[in-house]
Amino acid sequence: MQQLTDLVARARADADGIGSASSRVIPIRPALPLTTSEGEVARILQICNACRYCEGFCAVFPAMTRRLEFGKADTHYLANLCHNCGSCLHACQYAPPHEFAVNVPQAMAQVRMQTYHDYAWPPAMGALYKKAGLTVALALAGGLALFLVLAVAMSGSLLHEPLAGNFYAIFPHNFLALVFGAVFLFVMFALAMGVRRFWREVSPANDPGNAPSMPGVRGPASAEAAHDALRLKYLGGGHGEGCNNEDDRFTLWRRRFHHFTFYGFMLCFASTCVATLYHYLFSLHAPYALTSLPVLLGTAGGIGLVIGPIGLLWLNLRRNAAHGDVAQRPMDRGFIALLLLTSITGLALLAWRDTGFMALLLAVHLGVVMALFLTLPYGKFAHGIFRSAALLKFAIEKRLPSRLQLGAD
């Protein structure tokens, strides 16, 4: 440990210009005191910075080498850049039970949760991240579904003559558009405000020396970040063989199930967008035929949202506790459960929409969807937004010259 400490001390001296006039640069100093979890990330990364065995594993380690000290913004950025694949833990010679106790995935996961809380909008809602567990998710979905079921029962009958799949005979179109449109806009605004606060703290433009170089790199960097996010590049473990889950064996199933989940969600969103265009632009009103584009997109998305969440839940139940923050598992499972319930109730509604059970199934499905929407800004969904912002920063930063000038970018 003393050798590592001496090496870091010499590197700091070089960065502060003590070694020679030619190496004089502006040192990176933490502006604010670190929390316990942030301090642990800073401690671990200083050890990693001296070792650098995992430098080619993922984006975290090349980004780490551009720093000698790790302030609050640095820990927030690198924690969200980490994809929690677990490869570095199994490769690390200083991992527990070594006295250095280096566990990058676990330390990063704890700081990620803190960033979700710190950047939440409105700020008072940040506390919900600690309560976004499986029980809360199921209770919210069940409560909203029960409310809508009772509303339908009081206004008519839950069991009725077949209505040819006409959902709007149960809930008027304008009512659904107003309620879900308002919730959707709030969700997008809350997420945008949160990631805006995060970006303002970690943005590469915060370094005055980067300002002249920034305009020429934003376009290519944005394209690269989008590409890496959409293909989940860093769930490949740095070697393309995948993540670790319950042990040191590599598996690509985590990336595959994430793809099923993400693209299933996007297909369902596309189905809603196409149906909206049909309704308002072409005056083609629901119900739509099984072979229509909105139904085909929604069916494919629903299937993806069954396969993906089931797979992710299976992996989550089997995952090694050292690979992340065990305290966050209820939040993970709550989000997975809502995605799965949304897809199952949606497919059931499609299958039985021409029967007398449509009103009951519609009320249950809408209650689950509303619960999913309401929890998006204050649950696991936020990790995709913050991680994409971190990938954008990494793509910009690596195109800029290192101000440390110590090599190994």
Closest to 116 measured CA to CA, from 336, 348, 328, 347: 328
Q: What is the pLDDT of residue 239?
A: 79
Buried b (16+ CB within 10 A) or exposed e, 102-125: bbbbbbbbbbbbbbbbbbbbeeee
> Under a CB-based contact definition with an 8 Å cutoff, are residues 356 and 157 in contact?
no
Q: What is the pLDDT of residue 399?
A: 87
Q: What is the pLDDT of residue 27?
A: 46
Q: What is the pLDDT of residue 132?
A: 77
CA atoms within 13 A on the CB side of 248: 5
How far apart are alpha carbons 180 and 157 in whole angstroms? 23
Q: What is the pLDDT of residue 4?
A: 52
Residue that the structure tokens 């839940």 belong to: 313
The hierarchical CATH code for the domain 126-200+236-384 is 1.20.950
Q: What is the pLDDT of residue 20?
A: 42
Closest to 44 measured CA to CA, from 62, 64, 72: 64
Task: Count Cβ atoms within 10 A of the Cβ of residue 166 and give its class: 0-12 exposed, 13-18 middle, 19 or more buried.
Answer: middle
> Under a CB-based contact definition with an 8 Å cutoff, are residues 34 and 75 in contact?
yes
What pTM was computed for the model? 0.85
Locate 351 and state its tokens: 């299958």
Residue that the structure tokens 């985590």 belong to: 254
Q: What is the pLDDT of residue 21?
A: 37
- HEC states along the chain? CHHHHHHHHHHHHHHCCCCCHHHCCCCCCCCCCCCHHHHHHHHHHHHHHHHCCCCCCCCHHHHHCCCCCCCHHHHHHHHHHCCCCCHHHHHCCCCCCCCCCCCHHHHHHHHHHHHHHHHCCCHHHHHHHHHCCHHHHHHHHHHHHHHHHHHHHHHCCCCCCCCCCCHHHCCCHHHHHHHHHHHHHHHHHHHHHHHHHHHHHHCHHHCHHHHHHCCCCHHHHHHHHHHHHHHCHHHCCCCCCCEECCCCCEECHHHHHHHHHHHHHHHHHHHHHHHHHHHHCCCCCCCCCCCCHHHHHHHHHHHHHHHHHHHHHHHHHHCCHHHCCHHHHHHHHHHHHHHHHHHHHHHHHHHCCCCCCHHHHHHHHHHHHHHHHHHHHHCCCHHHHHHHHHHHHHHHHCCCCCCCCCCCC
Q: What is the pLDDT of residue 185?
A: 95
Q: Kindly report, residue by residue over 123-161, the tens digit of the pLDDT.
A: 988 888 888 788 889 999 999 999 999 999 888 777 888
Residues of the chain with pLDDT under 70: 1-31, 205-216, 405-409
Task: Count Cβ atoms within 10 A of the Cβ of residue 29 and give its class: 0-12 exposed, 13-18 middle, 19 or more buried.
Answer: exposed
Locate 200 and state its tokens: 């303002």
How far apart are alpha carbons 156 and 175 in whole angstroms? 17
